[in-house]
Structure 1
Amino acid sequence: MSLLHADATHASSPLFSTTLSLPDCDATGWVVVDSMVDGLAMGGTRMTQTVDATELAALARAMTHKLALVDLPIGGAKAGIRPNGPVRDREHLMRTFGRVTRPLLHGGVYLGCDQGTTHPDRDMFFAAAGYDIATRPGATRLNVDWAEFWRTMVDITGFGVATAALGAIRASGARTPQRVVLQGFGTVGRGVAQHLAAHGHQIVAVADILGTVEDPAGLPVDKLIACTSTDGTIDRSGLPTSVRVHDGDRAWLKVDTDVLVLAAGADAIDESVVSSVRAKIIVEGGNMSCTKPARRMLGEAGLTVLPDVVVNVGGAAVTGCIIAGVAPNGLNVPQMSAWLREWIASKINKNCELIQELSASGSAEPVAELLAQRNIAW
């Protein structure tokens, strides 16, 4: 059975885009649905001062690609909230968003959290919408509520990104611990750091909104996380004296490293800085971390590039497996967590192997080839 809706095969425009009225919130909102499969679509809710329908359309298209590449029968979507100034009543905004999007949530468009929104935000707008993923017809039945279950999976996107990095390290033939630079230290970046450090690799530098912290001997990951706020900003005053602090948006490019994990905003690497990349393995842990031309140039330079739509899929895959009923019923929480992690790791590892094989054979657009096999435009 094909997993694709006919509307998912073209690349000209989303399936639909709607502007939301958010009464008394001094904010503008949108929901963009790129495609639907079997009446389902999903994506996160981004809240920034710059988000707009154009950005959301690109992100929704990326969700279509991510979900198709792990063979989940769900289309791609994305929501956005752009406040006109400081958010003075976050709870009111989230509950209003939930009430306004209620018809979409109950109609098959799942909206989770994304940059600028948190799991508690999502819980608030779900409650306002009267929406519970676990009661959706056809969904996998959980023996706890969704919010409680998700707390066991909060690191899952970082887990998936780390899985991809570990696979690329193995494929490179490396026999010694690898030096890793992380650009971005939010939920994803922290999860990547923990999993790579647990496998013996050295996190030698981490970048946040303030700059870059570096220790060539390896940063103490647990202590670093303890000094980091929920939004990914590191408190420099709590760091050991051995840690060097560098200012500048791209100071992380100057650090010698074997693996570079991009886990922050879009276009972290564009054409202007490709020649400055020192790592042999680049992992796009964030959305659209490299521009398409930059990704192509890195590949032409002989570097391994693992694209976002292949590796940044853990959170979406967990939710998708539950919504679409792909995960088995009857498992307790530890069993379900283990099943989902194994399923996600197998999908990411397989796709990363295919990407590397296609790249080695001379393909300039390996992701496009994988998507073409599923009748989806890149």
Structure 2
Amino acid sequence: MNQESEGKQFLNSVHHYYDQAARHTNLDSGILEQIKICNSVYKVNFPVEVDGKVVVYEGIRAQHSHHKLPTKGGIRYSMHVDEDEVIALATLMTFKCALVDVPFGGAKGGVKINPRTTPVEVLEKVTRRYASELIKKNLIGPGVDVPAPDYGTGSREMAWIADTYHTFKHGETNALGSVTGKPVGQGGIRGRTEATGLGIFYGLREALQDTEILNQLGISPGLSGKRMIVQGLGNVGYHATHFCQQEGVIIIGIAEREGGIFNKDGIDLEAAFLHRKNTGSILDFPDATNIANSLDLLAYECDILLPAALENQIDHRNAATIQAKIIAEGANGPITQEGEKILLQKGIFIIPDLYLNAGGVTVSYFEWLKNLSNVRFGRMGKRAEEASLRRIVDTIEQHTGHTISAKERQMLIHGADEVDLVRSGLEDTMILAYHEIRDVMHRNPGINDLRTAAFFDAIQKISVSYLSLGIFP
């Protein structure tokens, strides 16, 4: 199967999930069609000089929905970027933002380039030129469309885009809000790096307290002791697994591009991550069995399977072999519509990407707010909060005649700083969104899976936005 058809397959899956949820609404067909379609796609080919020669690169930016502005979505660098894939990802962003009450429309971008083999100086040229093309067309900006990192990009590329935007829009006080995922020293926010992975952890933790679901699966509450296999040890997969392991999850398998490793007694994530960093491969990790084809590892028995790599990893060809009780979609679209039918028939509980990996855009929203306000979260209140708590502790000590240790005192009087506030906001968002989805399932007997419930909830929220704008009678 070629990459173009994979992108089309991904888009078809997203539309299938949308249609499946839309059938349960009472909305006018025209409204449903407007919510479904992608509003605009911009494709550009631009030249960059590389080693004295001109190389032409292809860039895409899709803005799926303008029911709220700005639109929001990452930029991915990959040789497999194509229009259908970018539209599918932009579509997911629209519903993801609506689901977690982040006031953005959905967007996505991509450049056809291999970030692993391209020199840094060339990556910078390409990034700045791509950003320039978008800026000249007024396609990005703090009130228009706000990019973020995605597969193949990170804070470095976002800093280049922010700097390029500021060059074009010199003197604009909100210029840093033109892109999120920046380094902290350049307008970024503490907690953004691990946000998507931490959001996955919060979502999984909440699902593992849902006794109704757990009774159906025959597993006990809580993350501790659960066996997990993760696919993809990039930013999302690493951080999600890191927080899960801290909570007592046993990581028994790690799948990567070069293969996978397995140990039924558990794998030390930090040691495996360091091993791959030092050797360039996850293979040959001490006390673990090599798995030549990493996709084979997805079929191993476990409590939780976390696909955190790319889309279309579980389809009609391998879905029947999956033995996990819970699939937590860390990546966007890792399960095809044909694959999902088989998994649901097997009684596997799927926590959908639409909800589970929304941590990234949630914290991106916090960063955007920070940039617009031009002040660090916690800056004005942290010391005042600590002073108040200190007075309370002092008063209790005086009245009881007992003193506490310096460590205990510091823990009790600690005022919330930026990362504390960011993580608190993210945790609250993920908890509330999970219970909203479950409420949809309880109110609608015909909706029997979380993905359909999530799309249904998002569609209802978006429709309210359209109707309130007076676009429809």
Q: Please tell me whether residue 167 in structure 1 is matched to residue 249 in structure 2.
A: no
- 2:336 corresponds to which of 282, 291, 294: 291
Count of residues in correspondence between the two structures: 366
CA distance in 1, matches of 2:193, 2:272: 18
Q: Normalised by the size of structure 2, how large is the TM-score?
A: 0.70
Tell me: CA distance 1:138–1:215, structure 2 relative to 1, closer, same or farther (3 Å). Answer: closer
- 2:247 corresponds to which of 184, 194, 199: 199
CA distance in 2, matches of 1:170, 1:186: 27
Matches within 5 A, 1:204-283: 204-229=252-277, 234-237=281-284, 239-240=285-286, 242-283=287-328
Larger radius of gyration: 2
CA distance in 2, matches of 1:355, 1:233: 40
Q: Please tell me whether residue 54 in structure 1 is matched to residue 136 in structure 2.
A: no
Give 1:130's aligned residue. 166
Does the CA contact (< 8 Å) of 2:62 and 2:86 recur in 1?
Answer: yes
Cα distance, 1:362 vs structure 2? 4.7
Give 1:337's aligned residue. 419
CA distance in 2, matches of 1:92, 1:330: 31
- 1:349 corresponds to which of 431, 435, 440: 431
CA distance in 2, matches of 1:74, 1:120: 23
3-state DSSP of counterpart to 1:104:
coil
Question: How big is each residue's C-alpha offset from its partner over 1:281-328, in whole Å with a ceiling of 9 and x where there is no partner?
Answer: 111000111123433442343222111010111121111233257998
Query: Structure 1 counterpart of 2:47, which letter?
Result: P
Q: Please tell me whether residue 95 in structure 1 is matched to residue 140 in structure 2.
A: no
Q: Which has the higher helix share?
A: 2
Does the CA contact (< 8 Å) of 1:42 and 1:110 recur in 2?
Answer: yes
Q: Percent identity?
A: 21
Tell me: CA distance 1:214–1:286, structure 2 relative to 1, closer, same or farther (3 Å). Answer: same
Cα distance, 1:199 vs structure 2? 0.3
3-state DSSP of counterpart to 1:28:
strand
Query: Structure 2 counterpart of 1:110, which letter?
Result: V
Structure 1 unaligned spans of 5+: 1-5
Question: How big is each residue's C-alpha offset from its partner over 1:60-100, in whole Å with a ceiling of 9 and x where there is no partner?
Answer: 00000111111111101011101399635212111212222
- 2:140 corresponds to which of 105, 130, 134: 105
Structure 2 unaligned spans of 5+: 1-29, 49-54, 215-219, 380-415, 465-473
Tell me: CA distance 1:327–1:40, structure 2 relative to 1, closer, same or farther (3 Å). Answer: closer
Q: Pairwise CA RMSD of aligned residues?
A: 3.3
Query: Structure 2 counterpart of 1:211, which letter?
Result: G
Cα distance, 1:356 vs structure 2? 4.5
Give 2:26's aligned residue. none
Give 2:402's aligned residue. none
Tell me: CA distance 1:235–1:302, structure 2 relative to 1, closer, same or farther (3 Å). Answer: closer
Query: Structure 2 counterpart of 1:167, which letter?
Result: E
